[in-house]
Structure 1
Amino acid sequence: MDHHETELMLQGYGLTTAELFYRMPDYRSVLNSFVWQEYDLAPDHPKLFGFIEFWQKEIEGPLHSVRFTHRKMIAPGEWRNVTGEFTLH
């Protein structure tokens, strides 16, 4: 995990994972899935809904359904500074 991701988590972002089900443009009876994952803010999920809008404008495969989950990795109150470390054999 890089420094940027930690800053996002401290600002309240959590990991959002979405599975988008879409139909093939040439074969409407075929249903495929695409997994998308990004740090996003709940409950509004601006990045997820922005991606869905992009899909609807730019991708030929029409969306059938979307299911997603959101998980906060850490919260600002869970962060603590460690000043020492002890090693036990």
Structure 2
Amino acid sequence: FHPGFLYKTPVTINTVDSDSKRSRLPFSTDFYQYDGTAAPLQEEIAKSVAGTQLGHAGFRLHYPLNTNEYKDEVMVFQGASYFRVVGPQQVYG
């Protein structure tokens, strides 16, 4: 998730490779879509983060949980304390 609105404090997201090496996932405007009225923000954000470490507000995971044709949202983590997880044939509630 992109930082902003209620989630202004970035969280650190790390990735783990096949050798169990941990790396920080850097912020990049390439990870986000800036459509319509948000399009001018991409350039402004790119300028403001040059030389600084803007982070992410969270992330979500998609997986073909119920059918192979659709990747369901199965996990969401945002901020320091918000998270949701679902299993097969379940919905967030």
Task: Give TM-score scaled by structure 2 length.
Answer: 0.28
Task: Give TM-score scaled by structure 1 length.
Answer: 0.29
Could you say which structure has the greater relative contact order, defined with CA pairs below 8 angstroms and 6 or more residues apart?
A: 1
Give the number of the structure whose alpha-carbon radius of gyration is greater. Answer: 1
Whichever structure has more helix as a proportion of its residues is: 1
